Structure 1
Amino acid sequence: MRWTVRMLIKDQKTKVPPVVTTDLTGKTVVVIGANTGIGFEATKHFARMNPRKLILACRNKEKGEAALAEINRETGCKTAELRLVDLSDFNSVRSFARTFEEKHDRLDILLESAAVSPVSTKPEFTKNGWELGFQVNDLSPAYLALLLVPRMLDTAKRYNTIPRITLVTSELHYWTEFKTEWLESPDALRKFGHKDMLKEKLKMDRYPQTKLIDLFFARALSDRLPKGSNVIVNCATPGYCYSALDRNIAGFQKVIIAGLRKALARSTEEGSRQFVWAAVGPAPGEKYRVEELQGAYISLHSVREPSDYVISDQGRWAQNKLFASFHIKDLRVHGEN
């Protein structure tokens, strides 16, 4: 599908369907980035669905505790708890997954909603040596999903249920793609984001490219799950919303963003409904079957066709090339670089 500015505006002006609800009794939900913005609103929705366990996975303890207290106060949920994870540190991601597996026998929903957007053309690198946005938006969510997939496969088999992994993407993926010469490099992943090889300034399409990678990863992982495993992987866009994602933008860009927000932005709660739909939808009576959400790109409570690039032969090749690079050895998560 080709996506135009007119289509974007029309979508933003479209009334967002009500949040879909279901009974999560007995089920375990993990939300990454649960203390702020759209992830926080999605977590509140899950809290109202009576989950056996609702885990707020946050980087900052103080902010996480404040979010947990507010959720308890607003929803009455008594089964929510805070767990710390820092997506800019692979060791933290691995520790989170290990602790989860030790304490919980099932995982029904994994929503990975944390993200950052570059505030400068100068790359900022994590302790692991990767560009911050790339690691937080792509590498760590992919790593965490791969670490927790075995528990979700077991959950599906043991409890005869359909667990889901939902990653966050954006309509901006329609307006970017990757150069063939870059992908043909044996060090493509490192050229894109490692301090040893990323020598150029970050460009305007940096954030859209990280969201394209999220979509590629979701589609590739869904293709590689065992047949009949009943674990669904998808990607959802909240649309353009009020959020903390652009909180560090300054100067003239801040003025532009303020104008766009006033004219087009959805509330964070409206945006969160897309994450919830991807994780527990469709509602009874909707036209979709659950199976149709496998590998899907989701917007406005519907399965949308992603960009022409994503569904092209070239896009499929890029998707497989990038997924093949998401190996623990390549990410060097066992070391400090």
Structure 2
Amino acid sequence: MPEPSHPADAARIEAFVEHLRHERHSSEHTWRSYAADLRHLADHLAGPASGTNCDAAALDMADLEDLRGWLAAMAASGLARGTLTRRLSAARGYFGWARRQGLREDDPSLRLSAPAPKPALPAVLQPGQMERLFQTARHRVEDTVDDPRQHALALRDAALFELLYATGIRVSEASGLDVDDLDAERRVVRVLGKGDRERTVPLGVPAAHALQVWLRLGRPVLARAHEGSAHTDGARGPTQAAMFLGARGGRMGVRQMRERVDRALAGLGDTSARGPHALRHTAATHLLDGGADLRSVQEVLGHSSLRTTQVYTHVSIDRLREGYRQAHPRA
């Protein structure tokens, strides 16, 4: 989305984004989303139907009725409730910050409300589907033995799939991992999550083994492509430290990881689940199905609020209800 038409609005949004990045330590996804939401608000307020004085910054002139009109217009357009809620959060964050900075005397968002989003039940894979995913990855490793570069890529993908399912970490966290973040002896990995919060996540024997094989046999092959350089393939950080490398030898980026997981899941042929987040959903659901308590799953996933983790209990309950309906003679 282009910058707001009024330079003052663009300046306000840029200053707020700097606050999110450097003081709140928000993730790049969060501050980019909030910036886009505030540009949308500024454009709405400055529109011909708003009645806002075009010689003033729209965000400086906004009042409660303006914000309600903005939400009403988005709701009428059929925007999802989750998006409405996020945009409301962006507006609340901005106007609260603007008042504290002395840019406004009031906060018009205090009395603003939007419908709470209904938690979406994430797509999850069955244990048998996960086993087929890993089996396919192992077959690719075996089939590429005679091609060192393709063999290295196959080892990398197998390790990546095992890690994402074993730990439930976010794809951005996987991309940011360094070699030293793995403690193979204790079978744990150190993860830097949202808000620069660090946590230690356990992983099982298959994932630990796949990572060690990749680091020993696969990673050196790809590292030689740009040995000693700081080249990256779409992610921040020096190549020398990166856990996962792209085909050109740089740190493997988020987009590359999504593409590899998407292709592997599509290859199963019997699931609509796509992307690394599906493996995160699946890991959380299988942990709960196996008897893990909600607090432990919250810690593994790195959720700051238990409410975020609770969506997985709905998934498990729905699966339990479906199994009951199919199995019980008087269901």
Please tell me the TM-score bracket, short chain as reference.
Answer: under 0.3
Which structure is higher in strand share?
A: 1
Structure with larger RCO (C-alpha < 8 A, sep 6+): 1
- Structure-2-length-normalised TM-score: 0.24
* Structure (1 or 2) with the greater helix fraction: 2
